[in-house]
Amino acid sequence: MSGARVIPAMDVLIALPAAQALARRHGPRAFRAALDTVVAHLRAGLRAGAHEIDDKDAAAALILEHVASALEGAAQPSLRPAINGTGVVIHTNLGRAPLARAALDAMAAVAAGYSTLEFDVEGGTRGSRHRHLDALLADATGAEAGVATNNTAAGLTLALAALAAGREVIISRGELVEIGGGFRVPEILRGSGALLREVGTTNRTRASDYAAAISDRTAAILRVHPSNFTMQGFTSRPGLGELSEIARRFGVPLVEDQGSGWLGFDLCRVEAFPAEARAVLGDEPAVRDSIRHGADLLVFSGDKLLGGPQAGLVVGRADLVARVKAHPLMRAVRVDKVTYAGLDATLRAWVGGRADEAIPVMRMIAMSPEVLARRASDLVERLRAAGVPCEVGTGLSTIGGGTTPGATLPTTLVRIRATSADALAAALRRGAPPVVAFIADDDVCLDPRTVSEDEDDLLVAAVIAAVRGDDPVAAQSLP
C-alpha cells in the first residue's frame, strides 16, 4: 500500500476505542477539528514522499498519537504558573509580585462564596466597598484616607479627573515618561481631561518654574517618579518639600505618582536586609516619606514593592480622597472582592512589621548572600548528580517592575553549560511548568533569589527533563 491510501477512512478512525476516548475527554467538536487537521497534514506529507507508513493500523496509531498531542496542547491554559529564574524580582512579564500566603488564603476564602463586599452586617443594609481598606491604608501610609483602583495608571487618571478636568496640571518636562507597554504619561493625563502645563527642561526644573506657571487655571501640581530610567549629569529637580511649600502658598494640591509602592523602613525591620538591599531601598522614594513631606494626594502600585495584587492605591487628604471616591469614573476602575481581600492581608503584614518575612518580594530582596550561595550550591549538586554540567557563579539581581532603575543586588547563580544555550533556554520555557532563565557568556543561568524554595524540586526536574531530551530541541543542547 502506498501514498495517501494508507490512511484509514474517517468513519473507521472515529470508531476506534482510542478515538472515542479522546472525543469524550476533549469534546467531539475539538476532537474532529484536530483529527481533520492531522489527517490533512499526513496526507500532504505522504503525497510529497515525506513519510513512509506500512499499513493502515500504523497510520491510524500515528494519527491518533498526533491528535492526542494536539488536544493536550490546546487544553493547556495560556496563563499558567512559571518559575522565574531571571533574578528580576518584580518581573512585569511574569506577573509582577508573587503574593503572600496570607493574601492567597484571604482571596480564596472570599472568592469561594458570598462576602460582605458591600453589605453592612450591623445595620443589615447596603455598605461601601471602600470601607474595607480605609483604616489600613491610613495606618500603613500615614495618610488621612485612601482608596483602591485597578492599577496605578487608573488611579492617576481618576485622581486628575476628579481634581483637574478642564484645568491645568503643572508637570516638569523631565517627568513626561513612557511606562511599560508603550503607555505615555502625557497621554494618560490627557485622558483624564486635564490640561498639561509643562515647565522646566528635560534635565533641569527649578521650584521657581512651578511657581511662575501657577495661575487661576491651575488645578494641581503633579510630580511623577521617573521609575524606569535614570538621568545623570547636569540635572536637578526640586524636592517634594519645596513643591509642597509652593502648593500651599498658592492653594493648589500637590499630587505625586510615587509608582513603586515602597512604604519605607518605618514598617520594616531594617536589620533584616543586607547592606546592599538597604542602600537600594533607601534610594527609592517611600510612600510614608512623601506623605510626611507634604504630598496632598499620592498614587502608587499595589503589586510592586508593596507585594500585593494588582491595584493602584490613592491616598492623601481626606477631602481629596472623598472627591476621588465620588467621581463617576470610580465605578469603571474599582477593584473586586478578591483584590480587596489580598490587599487587606498584604497591608496587615506591613502594619504588623512582618513584611520582610511574609511578603515574597521583600523576602527575596532581603535574602542574604549566605542563603543565596547555599541554595545555588544545593541546586548545582543535585543537577550534577543527574549528569547536568553546571557550576556556581556570581551575578547580579535586579528589583525590576519600574522600580529602583539601574540598581542591582549581588547574587549567586546556577550556570548550566550547553552546546546551544538558546536551545536549552527555549526548552526550559516549553516545560511544565515553564522555566524562564537568562543567558550569560553562553551559559544558561538561573538566579535562586527569584525561585521560591518550594519550587526547587520542580526546577531541578524541569532542567533535567530539558537537557536529557524530553524536549526534542533540548536533546541537542548538552555538550
Decide if pLDDT at 234 tops 90: no
The reported pLDDT for the residue numbered 44 is: 87
253 domain residue, yes or no: yes
| Same domain as 107, residue 25 | no
324 domain residue, yes or no: yes
Instruction: Express each pLDDT in 132-181 by its tens digit.
Output: 999 999 999 999 999 999 999 899 999 999 999 999 999 998 888 776 66
- Tell me which of 131 and 235 has the higher pLDDT: 131
Phi, psi (5° rounding) for residue 381? -60, -45
Instruction: Express each pLDDT in 246-283 by its tens digit.
Output: 999 999 999 999 989 999 999 988 999 999 999 999 88
| Same domain as 368, residue 279 | no
CATH of the domain at 407: 3.90.1150.110
Mean pLDDT of 198-208: 88
Decide if pLDDT at 473 tops 60: no
Q: Which of 312, 339, 358 is the last residue of a domain?
A: 358
Q: Which of 343, 358, 373 is the last residue of a domain?
A: 358
pLDDT tier, 56 (very low <50, low <70, confident <90, very high otherwise): confident
Q: Looking at this protein, which amino acid is placed at residue 105?
A: D
Instruction: Express each pLDDT in 300-352 by its tens digit.
Output: 999 999 999 999 999 999 999 999 999 999 999 999 999 999 999 999 999 99
The reported pLDDT for the residue numbered 308 is: 97
Looking at residue 9, what DSSP letter applies?
P
| Same domain as 440, residue 388 | yes
What domain count does the chain have? 3
The whole-angstrom separation of Cα 223 and Cα 258 is 8
The whole-angstrom separation of Cα 313 and Cα 130 is 11
Instruction: Express each pLDDT in 62-104 by its tens digit.
Output: 999 999 989 988 888 889 999 999 999 999 999 999 999 999 9
Mean pLDDT of 412-440: 95
46 domain residue, yes or no: yes
| Same domain as 470, residue 369 | yes
Q: Which of 321, 338, 358 is the last residue of a domain?
A: 358
| Same domain as 198, residue 327 | yes
Angle subtended at Cα 145 by Cα 140 and Cα 147, rounded to the nearest 5 degrees:
90
| Same domain as 301, residue 204 | yes
| Same domain as 324, residue 194 | yes
CB neighbours of 164 closer than 8 A, spacing ≥ 6?
192, 193, 194, 195, 219, 220
| Same domain as 397, residue 347 | no
What is the domain range of residue 459?
83-91+364-476
163 domain residue, yes or no: yes
| Same domain as 288, residue 154 | yes
The reported pLDDT for the residue numbered 219 is: 96
Q: Looking at this protein, which amino acid is placed at residue 153?
A: A
96 domain residue, yes or no: no
| Same domain as 267, residue 121 | yes
| Same domain as 71, residue 130 | no
CATH of the domain at 207: 3.40.640.10
CB neighbours of 277 closer than 8 A, spacing ≥ 6?
365, 366, 409
| Same domain as 399, residue 323 | no
Mean pLDDT of 201-219: 91
The whole-angstrom separation of Cα 19 and Cα 23 is 6
The whole-angstrom separation of Cα 56 and Cα 449 is 54
Whole-number mean pLDDT of the chain? Answer: 91
